[in-house]
Structure 1
């Protein structure tokens, strides 16, 4: 973690501001320009700035988060034609894979369906929609 500490190199003290012997009587001393003043945030001000930044970051990530959504038709950078199948009562992942796979390649099809749908295991729920390679 890094720390940044800023300290002013020159600070006018009240004695320096009032003691001006070459001042003409009856003239007001010139004020410093507004840009030369130091700006300090109170604790409440720092909290408001941090919360404002976090709110802006939340709004931005929510608005742009749709671009990061996964799609059913891309696996490993390759586009695949898919169809969507809804799991019916009594269906298992192996039954669904057996309907679309060539004989002897059911296990490979199960693995492809798991990758395509980001399934952690072979368990499916009734009503779940699965993308199946054509």
Structure 2
């Protein structure tokens, strides 16, 4: 068993000097927040990620409606040797804008560009009135 001894002698408490309050000077204010190069890169990366998420969430989107769309009237044309997409568009829409007709043909046939046109292939061409 252990025991603890306390010294209750009055001489120890009387020797201790009285405590007084001392005014402490104002501590200096910490400097403003300074980012390291790594911290700046992190803040930039997080900002770009947040902007990308917002663009995806609130960007343009397509909406399905209740009524079906009207499919354009088309005809099929076989690409002959020497035919260009510009000539096919000019034959299909002689009085209209040839550039928009070429774009319509590309979009209608899911072609990436005019050079994807293959000789002997059949393509759909819109009918213009």
**Is the TM-score greater than 0.5?**
no
Tell which structure's C-alpha radius of gyration is larger: 2
TM-score (norm 2): 0.43
